Amino acid sequence: MTDQAVRPETDIPGKPTSASRTTLSHIMTGSDTNLLGTVHGGVIMKLVDDAAGAVAGRHSGGPAVTASMDEMVFLEPVRVGDLVHVKAQVNWTGRSSMEVGVRVLAERWNESTPAQQVGSAYLVFAAVDADGKPRPVPPVIPETERDKRRYQEAQIRRTHRLARRRAIKELREKRVADGIDD
């Protein structure tokens, strides 16, 4: 992609990765815990979705809804008193969809030790208009070598998501054709 990226069918000028990149930070409290006494994975997932949604809305210039979340990985437990940083950016864009990559880091709120990565996820958002219909998004312009790598990796993940969806649809259609009713 070039600095002058424009989506030909809409004449929407591209936006650089840095234009919508964001970090959401939150201190984990006792109300965030699970039965094991660590922070509930669902709490982290909500923070991930919130940060990714903000990035998608910023990039697309309006409302965007979560279409899918994949590859949510929890690397380390998060504890009460951890300051969690959720860093998100648009990795790739289609006509109306965007893949947002998210890294989750945690550090003790009262210590000056470096934050440690505790999770990551990839989410796909669809930009929607006032009627909930898909609307076009600006192409993303990767700025750094890391951004370019993330863009290429996102294209691979998209190919895999579409292939998986197609294979499942074909399997279900075959089961119906064979008279197997689930």
pLDDT along the chain (182 residues), means of 10: 54 93 97 95 98 98 95 95 98 97 96 95 97 96 97 96 94 91 73
User: What's the pLDDT score for residue 125?
Assistant: 98
Q: What three-state secondary structure class fits 5?
A: coil
**Residue 140: CA count within 13 A, CB half-sphere:** 32
Q: How many CB atoms lie within 10 A of CB 107?
A: 17
User: What's the pLDDT score for residue 11?
Assistant: 80
User: What's the pLDDT score for residue 19?
Assistant: 95
User: What's the pLDDT score for residue 9?
Assistant: 61
Residues ≥6 apart with Cβ < 8 Å to 66 = 49, 52, 53, 123, 124, 125
- pTM of the entire predicted model: 0.89
User: What's the pLDDT score for residue 70?
Assistant: 86
- Phi, psi for 49 (deg, rounded to 5): -65, -40
At 116, the amino acid letter reads Q
